[in-house]
Amino acid sequence: MDTHTYPVTRTDAEWRARLTPEQYAVMRGHGTERPGSCALLYEKRAGTFSCVGCDQPLFESKLKFESGTGWPSFNDPVPGSVENTVDRSYGMVRTECHCARCGSHLGHVFEDGPPPTGLRYCINGVALKFEPAA
């Protein structure tokens, strides 16, 4: 059981009121959206991707790339915005990433990304909102 506390906390009822059913299933239930189902996969404008759960800036568009996986992919998060844990679900070991401010599940990080980091943060688009640069 995760006993870590986060700066932003909400009751289950508050999360359900704030999030759509799909967002709740992904962000609070550690689910995964269908690949290719989120419009943010195709977002190419300059700007910032933030957590739907708490508005924390997570990823800058300049570090977004097309991975061919069906989910928005990024080289690296905004420093301090994402935390990682070991995910042993589905009979495999992966690195889960979640929002450092509210603890919401975002996706997973893999070591098969392009330079400069070699990382691929594979993120559920429903967990993100996009704010274009001014």
Assess if residue 7 is contained within a domain. Answer: no
Question: Mean pLDDT, to the nearest integer, of 100-124?
Answer: 95
Query: pTM for the full model?
Result: 0.92
Between 33 and 88, the more confident residue is: 33
Per-residue model confidence (pLDDT) at position 1: 46
Q: What is the pLDDT of residues 89-104, one digit of tens each?
A: 778 888 999 999 999 9
Domain count, the chain: 1
Rounded CA Rg of the chain: 14
Assess if residue 2 is contained within a domain. Answer: no
Assess if residue 4 is contained within a domain. Answer: no
Q: Could you list the residue range(s) of the whole structural domain that residue 116 is in?
A: 12-132
Q: What is the pLDDT of residues 6-50, one digit of tens each?
A: 999 999 999 999 999 999 999 999 999 999 999 899 999 999 999
Q: Is the separation of the CB atoms in 107 and 119 below 8 Å?
A: no
Assess if residue 5 is contained within a domain. Answer: no
Torsion of CA 30, 120, 130, 26, to 10 degrees: -10
Q: For the chain, give the percent of residues with pLDDT over 70.
A: 98
2 pLDDT above the threshold of 60: no
CATH of the domain at 119: 2.170.150.20
